[in-house]
Structure 1
Amino acid sequence: MKNIFTKIAAIAATSTALSVAIAAGANNPAQAVDLNFNWQGNAGYSAVGSFSYDEAIAPTIISESGSGATNFLQSLNVSFLDPSKNLLGTYNTVSAGVSESDFLAFNFDTSTQKLFGPLDIAGGTGVIGEYFFQGTVGESLQLRQDVDQQGTSITLDQNSGSIQVSKVPEPASMLGLLAFAALGVGSSLKKKQASC
């Protein structure tokens, strides 16, 4: 009987925490949308990153270019990995709504959650040897490395323009999953005790 009360108390605590989190979200709705992206080149190099924008003010199409204050992007970062998954470099192209790259090109459709058109991220800070990722989504995307800051670069890898974008789960969604997991564990324990 003591185990049943412990389970009920655990489920009640989880439900209460979930209710508080949902109520807090309703009173102070999250407006930032966080998304991840990943790219895989034909030779095994890859790019992984994330970006965010304020959904309350963002239009259907977000287009950003050049350095300075961005219109809608709040952050944009990317890391590049070689075929052995060794880190080549990490770049915070946009931080706190400011682009560090003169060459930034970024186009995103908020309704389809897809990148499109010209893309140029990372690099652009004037350091010899820096990496950058550029091309046209759906046509050709390349991971390149600067050689001399005079416009000379080498292509390390490329693909047909394929890049994946996925939305980062919201904290309330994660709490909901935890609550369901707790109920599942409680149910499994109950079945196990009943069979003993």
Structure 2
Amino acid sequence: MKNIFAKIATIAATSTAFSVAIAAGANNPAQAVDFNFNWKGDAGYSAVGSFSYDEATAPTIISESGSGATNFLQSLNVSFLDPFNNLLGTYNTVSGGVSQSSFFTFNFDTSTQKLFGPLDVAGGTGVIGEYFFQGTIGDSLFLRQDVNQQGTSITLDQNSGSIQVSKVPEPASILGLVAFGMLGLGSTLKKKQASC
């Protein structure tokens, strides 16, 4: 009997903590929204990455290019994998609202949550052998590797321009679901206690 009361007290305390965390998140509306993206080439190479921006200030269309301070994008990173899922390289193309590559090109529609048009991420930092991902979404996208930092590169893989984008669930939504689940567990424990 004491065990059931201890569990209920723990659930109540956890639910209260989650409620406070959710309320704190609601009082800070200027938060970054995060998206993941992934691409698979015809030969089995892949790219996985993420990007973020402040949804309170971002326009419907986010277009970024070149090095230096970005207009709206706060971060963008990408990792490349070979057909055996071995990591080829990871690049933080945008970090802290600053692009590291003069070749950087990015277009995103915040209303449809889709990438579109020209894309060029990773590489571009002046290192021989670095990887980069470029092309036109809906037409063809290429994973390439630089050979000599003088415009020569080899194409490792490509596809018809298909790339998937998914929004990362907000922490408050996840906490809300956990709290709701805990309330259900508490109700189940109460019923179990009543039947004892």
TM above 0.5, yes or no, is yes
SS in 2 for 1:172: helix
CA distance in 2, matches of 1:71, 1:88: 29
Shift, 1:154, TM fit: 0.8
**Mapping of residues 29-68 of structure 1, within 5 Å:** 29-68=29-68
Structure 1 match to 2:111? 111
Backbone CA RMSD of aligned residues? 2.0
CA distance in 2, matches of 1:72, 1:192: 53
CA distance in 2, matches of 1:136, 1:39: 13
Matched, 1:173 2:173: yes
Closer/same/farther in 2, CA of residues 188 and 156 from structure 1, 3 Å limit: farther
Q: When the two structures are aligned, how many residues end up with a matched partner?
A: 196
SS in 1 for 2:135: strand
Shift, 1:184, TM fit: 4.7
Closer/same/farther in 2, CA of residues 15 and 30 from structure 1, 3 Å limit: farther
CA distance in 2, matches of 1:107, 1:132: 16
TM-score, structure 2 length as denominator?
Answer: 0.91
Structure 1, unmatched stretches of 5+, are none
CA distance in 1, matches of 2:89, 2:46: 11
Larger CA deviation: 30-39 vs 114-123: 30-39
Structure 2 match to 1:85? 85
Structure 2, unmatched stretches of 5+, are none
Shift, 1:30, TM fit: 4.2
**Mapping of residues 1-196 of structure 1, within 5 Å:** 1-186=1-186
Larger CA deviation: 7-16 vs 164-173: 7-16
Shift, 1:6, TM fit: 2.3
CA offsets 1:8-56 (integer angstroms, 9 cap, x no match):
3123112211220121122222421111111111111100111111111
CA offsets 1:138-161 (integer angstroms, 9 cap, x no match):
111110011111111111011111
After the TM superposition, list the runs of 4 or more consecutive aligned residues in structure 1 that deviate by more than 4 angstroms: 184-196
CA distance in 1, matches of 2:30, 2:170: 9
